[in-house]
Every structure is written in C-alpha cells, then in structure tokens.
Amino acid sequence: MSTQQIFLFDFDGVIVDGMHEYWHSSLMACDKYLNSPYIKFDQKLYKRVPNIFKEIRPWVKYGWEMVLIVHQIIKTENQLNNFNKDDFINEYHQNCQRILKENSWIAQDLQKILDKSRGLQIDKDFEKWVNLHKPYFEVINFIEELKKRGIKAGIITTKGKIFAEKILNQLNIFPEFIFGYESGTKIKIAEELNQKYEILGFIEDRKKTLMDIKQNSETSNINCFLADWGYLKSSDRYKLNNEIKLLKLDNLNELLAI
C-alpha cells in the first residue's frame, strides 16, 4: 500500500446542497421525457421544492429514485402527500420497486432521462443549472487545506461523474479522483482505494453506506464520519456506535489532527 494519504467525500449533501437541482431536474425529466399518462404538468411546479420531497430525500440512494418520487408527488390522482408519506417511507425500497413494476419502468431508463434533463439544462443555461447547487464553503476550504498538506481528495458520488465534475470545476475544486455512479458501488470503490492509499477518512451523509463500509472486512479500518449538515433521517443522529462519528461543519478542521 502506498504511503500517500487520501480523504474521501460524498458529493450531494456533503460538498453541495443540491436539493433545488434534484427537484428541478427530476421534474424536467417527468415533464419532457417520461411520457406518463398520470401527470398533468404545471410550470409553477418549478418555482418551489415541496416539503414532502425534502422529507423523503434522505431515503434516496440513486438518482433515478428522485424521478419516481417526483412523479408520485405530481400525479393527478393518489398523489404522494403528507397523509401517506409515512407508509411510503416505511417500505421505501419495496414501494420504489412496486412503482417501477406498475409503470413498466426500468431504473436505468429513469436514470438516463434524469441525466438527459441535466444535459439539456447545461447546454441551455449552464450557469443557471450550476447555481441550483449551494456549496458548503467550510468543506471546500477543508479540501483546499488538505491539498496544502499534500493529502489527496477523492469524491465518490451516485451522481454522474460528468455532472459532479462540472460543478466542482465551477467551484474551483479539483480533486484527484471523482467516481460517479458509473464506477460501481461506493463500497467497491473504497475497497480498491484502500489497497492503494492510506484513507484518513470518509465523509458521507448516508448512514447505511458508512455502516456497510465498517462491516466489510476490506474497508472496516476506514474512519467514517456522518455529515450532520447533510440529508439525514431524523433517527440518523442517534444510535451511532463508536465506529461512525457524527461530524459538524464547525469541527471539520479537527480532522486534520488524524
């Protein structure tokens, strides 16, 4: 293993808050590419991210799920709303699979139209699309400090690499590695990097991902930090064992002492 040190970061919810972009791009995917007979589109939907979408976002693992959720929220009948959201969340994975089956959708196809929606916005008005993302400047400053100390930065995201790269470039962040959903699972990427580098830590806002890393013998040595500022479920901040530490933005620089 190389003595070269690296710090790993999730992207959405850790480096940027992309909530407005998620809603906008998923909505556009439904509007322009999904061809669903169950929705009636209103341009006013673009103006505000509904609270129910924000509340369900912590359960999302892959981008295609957001297209599915937006579709359920904007349906003309039997919409996903505050009255039935708990039932949806309680069996989140099963419900996503059920809705795929009921509509004869394929997850990869939903991902493609989400990517297509993003590509359309980038071509039409790149600056407007980028500005839908709100950066966490504390994290950006932390990455810059790592670089000064000769520590590499790696981004592992379930967003498409090309989209993450465009946003990072706009923020003047140039990590040594960017892995998008095309590169495979986060745990597999972490395994491969762990064989080549000394991983000082991984900052992620999805608790289940960090639990998987700690439970895998090939990656259990990685220091895992749950981003308190990210898209967390209300229960995520509690019942943390000693292997996963809750990290606040104000405490980022303390990691430099690792």
Q: Tell me: pLDDT of 1 over 60.
A: no
Per-residue pLDDT averaged across 192-219, rounded?
A: 96
Q: What is the CATH number of the domain that holds 165?
A: 3.40.50.1000
Instruction: Provide the token pair at 121.
Output: 């916005």
Q: Which domain range does residue 23 map to?
A: 19-130
Alpha helices, DSSP H only, in 91-160? 92-102, 107-130, 137-148
State the pLDDT at residue 256: 85
Are 101 and 187 found together in one domain? no
Residue 242, pLDDT score: 83
Do 109 and 213 belong together in one domain? no
Each residue's pLDDT tens digit, 3-59: 799 999 999 999 999 999 999 999 999 999 999 999 998 999 999 999 999 999 999
Q: Are 220 and 199 in contact (CB under 8 A)?
A: no
pLDDT of residue 152: 96
- Residue indicated by tokens 């830590």: 201
Per-residue pLDDT for 249 more than 90? Answer: yes
| pLDDT value of residue 238 | 85
Say if residue 122 is in the same domain as residue 196. no
Last residue of a domain, one of 93, 114, 130: 130
Query: What would the DSSP string read from start to end of 174-241?
Result: --SEEE-GGG--HHHHHHHHHTTSEEEEEEES-HHHHHHHHHSTTTTTS-EEEETTSS--TTTTSS--
Share of the chain above pLDDT 70, in %: 99
Do residues 176 and 200 both lie within one domain? Answer: yes
The single-letter DSSP state of residue 39 is B
Residue 107: which of 76, 52, 66 has the closest Cα? 66
Kindly report the three-state secondary structure assignment for every residue of 47-59.
HCCCHHHHHHHHH
The whole-angstrom separation of Cα 130 and Cα 163 is 10
pLDDT above 70 (res 258): no
The Cα–Cα gap between 182 and 141 comes to: 28
0.75 exceeded by pTM:
yes
* 125 and 147, same domain (yes or no): no
Please tell me the predicted confidence (pLDDT) of residue 239.
78
Whole-number average pLDDT of the chain: 95
Q: Is the pLDDT of residue 169 over 70?
A: yes
104-116: pLDDT as tens digits: 999 999 999 999 9
Residues 59 and 144 in one domain: no
Angle at 193 between CA 192 and CA 195, to 5 degrees: 70
Torsion sign across C-alpha atoms 96, 102, 108, 110: negative
The reply to whether 156 and 245 lie within a common domain is yes
Return the bridge partners of 247, or none: 227
Say whether both 158 and 61 belong to one domain. no
pLDDT for the residue numbered 234: 87
Same domain for 147 and 252? yes
42 and 109 together in one domain: yes
Segment 119-134 shows an average pLDDT of 96
What gap in Å lies between CA 195 and CA 134, rounded to an integer?
33
- Note the pLDDT tens digit of each residue in 27-39: 999 999 999 999 9
Instruction: Let me know whether 29 and 104 are in one domain.
Output: yes
d(CA 222, CA 244): 10
Residue 167 has pLDDT above 90, yes or no: yes
Task: Give 113's contacts (C-beta < 8 A, 6+ positions apart).
Answer: 29, 33, 34, 67
pLDDT of residue 246: 96
The model's confidence at residue 123, banded by pLDDT at 50, 70 and 90, is: very high
In this prediction, residue 2 has a pLDDT band, given cuts at 50, 70 and 90, of: low
